[in-house]
Every structure is written in C-alpha cells, then in structure tokens.
C-alpha cells in the first residue's frame, strides 16, 4: 500500500512542478507588458500559490512515508504573493508598479522554489 501511495505522490509532485513552472512563466510574461491585465496576473499568482501549497504538502507526505523529516519554508514567498494579490486588485497604475516590484523582489525565492522542485522532480522519476 505504501509503495502505491508513494508512486501516486511522485506523479502528483511531477504534475505540480509543471503547474509551478507554467504559472511562473505566465506571471513573468504578463508583467513584462506595460498595461498588464490585473485579472490574468491575479489568476497566475493564485495558480502558482495554490500549486506551491499542494506540491509542498505532497513533498511532506512523501518524506513522511519514507520516515524522513523535511523542512520546507516558503513563508516569505507566500507573504509576497499575498501582498501582490492584495495590491493587484486595486485599479491605480501605481499599484501595478508595486505588484511588479514585489514580485521582482521575490525573484530569488521563485528561482529557489523552482530549482528545488525541478531537482526533486528529476530525482523521483
């Protein structure tokens, strides 16, 4: 039973990594345009955040099944994503600049998350 659960979790992690990568690409491309669609940005940020939550839960479950401990802390990135979501629903143009700035400040954290999960995805195949 544990082996079957582990295989399912590995597939789920792989699928979530793909969602994370695609959501991040969408966020980056939307923010490159001057007058971006706030609804599309909010949707992409939510997709990334939700996928990161699910992927983290799957990783914690996988490591628990293997009897190992793992410490995953993306709290700072989640805080930035929440702030960007809050500000992005406001219409003034200056808020768009704030969203860009907040997400730009999170660039290293985005890369850390994506690198971690890409490495994990490659190792669990």
- CATH code for the structural domain at 2-123: 1.20.120
> How many CB atoms lie under 10 A from the CB of residue 121?
19
User: In the predicted model, is pLDDT for residue 2 greater than 90?
Assistant: no
pTM, entire model: 0.84
User: In the predicted model, is pLDDT for residue 94 greater than 70?
Assistant: no
46 in Cβ contact with 85 (< 8 Å): yes
User: In the predicted model, is pLDDT for residue 51 greater than 90?
Assistant: yes
Indicate the domain borders of the chain.
Answer: 2-123
pLDDT band at 74 (very low <50, low <70, confident <90, very high): confident
Q: Which long-range contacts (CB under 8 A, 24 or more apart) does 51-56 make?
A: 51/16, 51/19, 51/20, 51/23, 52/20, 52/77, 52/78, 52/113, 54/12, 54/16, 55/13, 55/16, 55/17, 55/20, 55/117
């Amino acid at each position: 039973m544990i082996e079957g659960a582990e295989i399912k979790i590995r597939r789920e992690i792989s699928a979530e990594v793909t969602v994370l990568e695609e959501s991040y690409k969408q966020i980056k491309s939307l923010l490159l345009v001057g007058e971006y669609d706030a609804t599309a940005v909010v949707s992409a940020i939510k997709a990334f955040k939700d996928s990161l939550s699910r992927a983290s839960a799957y990783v914690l479950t996988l490591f628990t099944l293997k009897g190992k401990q793992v410490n995953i802390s993306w709290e700072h990135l989640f805080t930035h994503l929440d702030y960007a979501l809050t500000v992005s629903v406001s219409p003034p143009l200056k808020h768009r600049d704030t969203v860009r700035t907040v997400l730009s400040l999170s660039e290293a954290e985005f890369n850390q998350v994506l690198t971690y999960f890409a490495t994990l995805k490659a190792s669990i195949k």
